[in-house]
Amino acid sequence: MTAEQEFDEFAIAAWPRLRRSAYLLTGDHHLAEDLAQTALARTYASWQRVRRADALAYARKVMVNANIDRLRRRRATEVGGAAAESRLAREPVADVGSEELASDRDAIVRLLGRLTDRERRVVVLRHYFDLSEAQVARELGIAPGTVKSALSRALGKLRVTAAEDETTFVREGLR
């Protein structure tokens, strides 16, 4: 099997997870697609150096770094806005099997959207990718203590926000 065929197989297998992860990082379907494509393109460019056993980890790190770069050069004229982001967050995901699952995903994305960029990255890497605190610290280039404090703050915010949302839903008869 050629290196190009190996990469094709890897890209097909990794695409859904990279896209979902990028969506959790950005909260925007279009940016998620771009971010996942960027990660795969950069991984392909380095494919000769990538250890096949760690290819997904490599692509994930490329994606997180590309997202950090995107945030650093974000312009005030970025396409979209609050109305567009809100509409995109409610768009159904193609592989959703039930309405309840779609509702849960929407709630998760809305909750993650209320976190700072660093908190969001830490939560996604720690809980979605199930990385250890040390691995998250290495991927983000921060101290393990910073991961712990950011995660603690983020989970506290998520608990408060989720409780507030639940109270609003019950009060308004939405659940």
User: pLDDT-derived band of residue 18, with 50, 70 and 90 as boundaries?
Assistant: very high
Rounded CA separation 30/22 (Å)? 10
- What are the sequence ranges of the domains in the chain? 1-97, 114-175
**pLDDT score at 106:** 78
Mean pLDDT, the chain, rounded, equals 81
**What CATH number labels 114-175?**
1.10.10.10
Contact indicator for 38, 66 with CB cutoff of 8 Å: yes
pLDDT of 110 > 50? The answer is yes
Rounded CA separation 49/32 (Å)? 25
* Contacts (Cβ under 8 Å, ≥6 apart) of 147: 122, 126, 133, 136, 137, 140
DSSP code per residue over 84-109: HHHHHHHSPPTT--SHHHHHHHHHHH
DSSP code per residue over 42-55: HHHHTTTTS-GGGH
Options 1.10.150, 3.30.70, 1.20.58, 1.10.1740; CATH for 1-97 is 1.10.1740
**pLDDT score at 78:** 47
**pLDDT score at 97:** 53
Between 84 and 168, the more confident residue is: 168
Contact indicator for 165, 107 with CB cutoff of 8 Å: yes
Q: What is the arithmetic mean of pLDDT over 133-150?
A: 92
Contact indicator for 154, 140 with CB cutoff of 8 Å: no
Length of the chain: 175
Q: What is the arithmetic mean of pLDDT over 108-136?
A: 89
Q: What pTM did the predictor assign?
A: 0.59
